[in-house]
Structure 1
């Protein structure tokens, strides 16, 4: 690396506090003067400004949980959004019209350049931080670890979206050279996985174990170990492990970038990495599945009494995690996302951007709070444009764990006379019976027609006229279909996840802050179970732990798989799978696909899960169904007959497994190749 001068592109860091987590992630001011690297990295403030620029590039198009304007991958076959012309923008996204030459040509294009901006900055910091005389040696190590984590994390974001990408020189590219000299080809997928996981392993040695409330957005040792497990999982999955359908994904020398030979040991590495994180969590007590205790009160509409799950001979009389006797499954799940918890109070949260400001204008966008604004009904001051597909709505099981069956579900509506027919919900009168007796995660996530929106922060009227009101999506209702407008749900089913009981965007109300659930401990548990499931019964692998202190013997062990699944099921108030499921790899895989669909709904997981499993064509090519939004209340029975969403056709082609490289990047980098199926422009 040249020892010349570098342009200091650091974002101003306002302190190092939790408030600064939002500040350093939404400020993008540039120093205009050139300063020598010695001067920059000998100064504490300049060093932190340099680092904060890397953090700022986690925003915009690199956001991981956000609304449709900025995070389209949060919408797969589970959600749809309306944006004029009956969801025309969603239709184009579903058809893969987001490359050069399409109307989406200007959308979602910053993730690539922003990631490489940060990678370059992080590399320079890593190689120069030793010069700083204002930090203690412990602080130098931690700052270096933060930069290393961020550099690897940006490669991880690129790998998920674009597939194998160029790994830049670790000493930092020399931008005094010409474009041709700086042209780098893609590395192979395996090389990307190896680089990211090894960097996360090193970062785990360097990073602090804990952050105080003022620095909760900064990565920890646990975050590095968790991302390492996640990346190994993707490297083991069918998209990147023996995928002969991607034999034409090559660099310009003809080198095949996706491994053509299946390697089962990759699953063992993923399992070992997940086990590293699980054992670390159990040893330190830093991470666990979050639960709330049983609540018995009837005077607080926002926090109703606990609904005890249906009696079960094993789980009803045992405390969590062996059962659900002492927890409230509904509130345990809801509170993770809706702002009820500060990030530091949530033991399930491994890594977060905090109060992410998730727009390309980093100073004005509103993060998860803005996502909620897109979900709130219009009568609550929301945009009312994010809808749940019928497929996702029907995927939630019954309270006793059996699949929902539309053919046999009860007909009619909730009344005062049929309360005994739905003991496992708080569904109010006039709601269709198909929405009764569903598992608790359904009520924490789905805004069915006629559900109550609390809007408890509304203050106008000095009564409850604006609070605790049922909202309806029938045509002609306040929140129903609007001809010529876009603020209505194209599926007639809304989203409750992330919505706090106090959230209201009008009538003097407000939307409370909430943090992005970038990576949760629940994910690590399911990664462990999935990885073990893919090992040949009777075969074992000896793999060193992340720090070399022990050796894991990894094999397909039913009890170890249950160790990953059971806490998720118990928290949800649902029975664990029986042994027949655990013993059958295919049956278990199908259950796992379903479990992740429910547990990680609206967390930007489904889009990538379907692709890494290579089942996206099966699921995303299905037509989108919802309620019949053309129907008014007078013909309400017809509203609940699933219909295909008008003017919304979907399809899936092979090219949609990876995102296209932009024309500008292909023109600049003579060694870059396009992902299969997209225009190459040669």
Structure 2
């Protein structure tokens, strides 16, 4: 018997359209598709709808309030980088209380990306029906290729969050028999192979080499370089511990017919890392430096690492044509929420200076930033989990205060005001761009300087029952505006050039740890960051040797450069290191105290990690309807 099956993410929304400002006004029937694809304007608006499922990672606090097509995730606060005060969905992950019946972000991510996949497929099936008098063949090819690439990218996001998923290869309609809609999950390798092959097909079938070639305004469009970057991302995940057959927890997970979903051994891991290397070289040789290079800002004719890094991560839309580092981003986003979360409360100041300061950086993340001599300040922790093992060679000390204002070398940039704790003295420039610490000068000073105090009685402290405060005594500063907190004109950066560099050097480390390209690209990042590079000779740090030590150096560098950019949550999982870093308490300053007592390292929250937390559960309603869809282990 034929009927409409209600599969939330895959089937019931076969004809749900995605650009709500346009398509909610159009009758939801088959005739509407013919009408939509009869004009250039209709085709263009439908494609814009396909783009709406690109993640909006600027709002990680109000996940339950987001429209389904925005698909934000709780990634920074669900790792070891940050903590929200209370009521954030990340706590379901941190407490290991996430369930398959959670009805907001678990369901909505699955649902949203599958709607995006379906809408991309609808577009691909119909774009050539538009008369060439309305839409040229060249545009038809280009726009279809964009939809094809987006579909592959949405599959990547699904696999990254849920593990292997069903690949929708049939042309389902509302009249498709229900028996044909009982879809099993594809294997890990099938999923990644499909993602890569679809991105390569899109590259060959119409994508612009780079959006700068679109003279009518290509900002935000998928191009060949973006597709290549996602090919590298997908292959990096495929080669990693979580997916390559090394993780015994998923070795026996199988479909009802017995098909094992994960590789049964890691014997092909080396060859998979070689694929990452080859595709990374393709990107570097084709697009760097012609289209991409690290941002570099000069002050008084000398590299200014602070301004360079701020430029690379602040994402001003009005300056888009001048950026050289952004690869993938979302234009329509929740910048105001992000900026409110990252602007301290500043009680008593004007509204332009007062945010929520919710997003608190953890002490562990603060400790990860290097000193200005390029050495780590903290090598680990004592048995109590909080007392630091201080690297004596780094010059780091925790007692006392800075006697005079500490400024960036060769610039007038104030890094740490006099009176600040020595914990924040002579740290690397990225630290001052990324973290607001106690007594730091705020970015916006049109009406006079404001110094943020997160002590209990401070202007951004917890006193008087104010909920707008940081639990850790630090606030994330990265991406915060230099003007009023409500400044618009921001794009949500989802992928920067350093991510390609890190994927490349990680693959080299796994395949050939003696390859000099490892230090070439790590050093390029460190040079821009204003800290000594690895190598021999004056002013350099001896490079570590051996695969394990080299990988530790890469991880440490990535933790800083990509901080708060939604990579570490997934890195810890794919590296198999989540239990080491996420199954223990996190720490910060003592926000219940003033004065010297504030600087006592204090437990902020317990974190729990169990093997089931490698992936989200598949929404239970999907499991209930699709009898061939097996649930992830542990749910």
TM-score, normalised with respect to structure 2: 0.85
| Equivalent in the alignment of 2:201 | 202
For residues 240-261 of structure 1, give each alpha carbon's deviation from its aligned partner in whole angstroms, at most 9, with x where no partner exists. Answer: 1122331132212222111122
8 A Cα contact 1:375 1:382, kept in partner: yes
- What corresponds to 1:184 in structure 2? 183
State the Cα deviation string for residues 440-472 of structure 1 (Å, max 9, x = none).
10001010101111324x5xxxxx3xx321010
What residue is the counterpart of 1:363 in the other structure?
Answer: none
SS in 2 for 1:351: strand
Aligned to 2:67: none
Match of 1:429 in 2: 418
1:330 aligned onto 2:306:
yes
Counterpart in 2 of 1:638? 597
Paired position in structure 1 for 2:458:
477
Aligned CA distance change for structure 1 residues 202 and 658 (closer, same or farther; 3 Å):
same
Trace 1:344-359 onto structure 2 (pairs within 5 A): 344-356=321-333
Provide closer, same or farther for how the CA distance between residues 416 and 575 of structure 1 changes in structure 2, counting only shifts above 3 A: closer
Are 1:34 and 2:41 counterparts? no
Tell me the CA shift for residue 28 of structure 1: 6.5
- Match for residue 401 of structure 1? 374
SS in 1 for 2:484: coil
- Provide the secondary structure at the position in 2 that maps to 1:611: helix
Unaligned runs of 5+ in 2: 1-12, 64-72, 347-352, 379-387, 537-541
The separation in 2 between residues aligned to 1:452 and 1:240, in whole angstroms, is 44
Give the 5 Å matches for 1:283-302: 285-295=290-300
Name 2:479's counterpart in structure 1. 498
Contact 2:582 2:609 (C-alpha < 8 Å) held by counterparts: yes
| Aligned counterparts of 2:443 and 2:365: Cα–Cα separation in 1 | 23
For the pair 1:378 / 2:360, whether they are aligned, the reply is: no
CA change 1:162–1:143 in 2 (3 A) is: same
Counterparts of 1:579-594 in structure 2, within 5 Å, are 581=543, 583-594=545-556
- Structure 1, residues 111-163: CA drift from partner, whole Å, max 9, x if none? 11111111112112212322222211211111011110111011011010000
Counterpart check, 1:57 vs 2:53: yes
Please give the alpha-carbon distance, in whole angstroms, between the structure 1 residues aligned to 2:530 and 2:408.
Answer: 20
* Change over 3 Å in CA distance of 1:28–1:566 after alignment to 2: farther
Deviation for aligned residue 1:583: 3.9
SS in 2 for 1:271: helix
- SS of 2:469's partner is coil
Structure 1 residues 164 and 559: alpha-carbon distance in aligned structure 2, compared to 1, 3 A threshold: same
Aligned length, in residue pairs: 575
Post-superposition CA distance 1:16-64 (Å, at most 9, x none): xxxxxxxx8x876352252445444332222223222211222xxx434
CA displacement, residues 459-495 of structure 1 (integer Å, 9 cap, x when unaligned): xxxxx3xx32101001011210146442111111111
Deviations 1:77-108 (A, max 9, x none): 01111126xxx75543302222145xx54444
2:429 maps to 440
| Residues 291 and 571, structure 1, Cα contact 8 Å, conserved in 2 | yes
Change (3 A) 1:89 1:355: closer
Distance in 2 between residues matched to 1:35 and 1:443, nearest whole Å: 55
CA distance 1:349–1:396, shift in 2 (3 Å): same
* Deviation, structure 1 residue 521: 1.0
Q: Which runs of 5+ in 1 are unaligned?
A: 1-5, 13-23, 297-325, 357-366, 459-463, 505-509, 538-555
Q: Give the distance between the partners of 1:178 and 1:479, measured in 2 at CA.
A: 60
Distance in 2 separating the partners of 1:469 and 1:589: 41
In 1: Cα distance, 2:115 partner to 2:585 partner:
39
Please say if residues 612 and 634 of structure 2, whose CA atoms lie closer than 8 Å, have aligned partners that are also in contact.
yes
**CA, structure 1 residues 483+265, in 2 after alignment: closer, same or farther (shift >3 Å)?**
farther
Question: Which residue, 394, 403, 406 being the options, matches 1:415?
Answer: 403
Partner of 2:97: 97
What's the offset of the Cα at 1:348? Answer: 0.7
1:174 maps to: 173
Alpha carbons of structure 1 residues 265 and 475: separation in structure 2 relative to 1, 3 Å: same
Alignment RMSD, CA only? Answer: 2.6
TM-score (norm: length of structure 1): 0.80
Secondary structure of the residue that 2:360 maps to in structure 1? Answer: strand
